[in-house]
Amino acid sequence: MTDAKTQIDETVKQNPVVLFMKGTKSMPQCGFSSRVAGVLNYMDIEFSDINVLADEDIRQGIKDYSDWPTIPQLYVNGEFVGGCDIITEMTLSGELDTLLEQAGITFDKEAADKIREANG
């Protein structure tokens, strides 16, 4: 499991935005992963997607790494942000915009506003 932890740590630290998910950003394989990837894709955020279904050590390892029991898990600049419910809440409240701006991550602000309008 140490190899998985090292691989996770390097991935999280080397990529500005990382989503550990079931499936891929172009083909999510669960509703929660689909929702978070959909938000990131819609907001035109460049992110690395790690398919936890492809590697059982990574699937369990990411839960241990973050001490968070569920997948998907979003990381921005090496910091764990949250899972589906948290990302959804942050998107709707505008907190995700603030976090991305502070992290220097480019995104489509107009798309973020449209998400809020559609769910307001």
pTM of the model: 0.95
- The CATH number linked to 47 is 3.40.30.10
pLDDT band for position 37 (cuts 50, 70, 90)? very high
User: Are the C-beta atoms of 11 and 50 separated by less than 8 Å?
Assistant: yes
pLDDT band for position 57 (cuts 50, 70, 90)? very high
Number of independent structural domains in the chain: 1
Q: Which domain holds residue 63?
A: 2-119
Q: What is the residue-wise DSSP string for 13-46?
A: HHSSEEEEESB-SSSBSSHHHHHHHHHHHHTT--
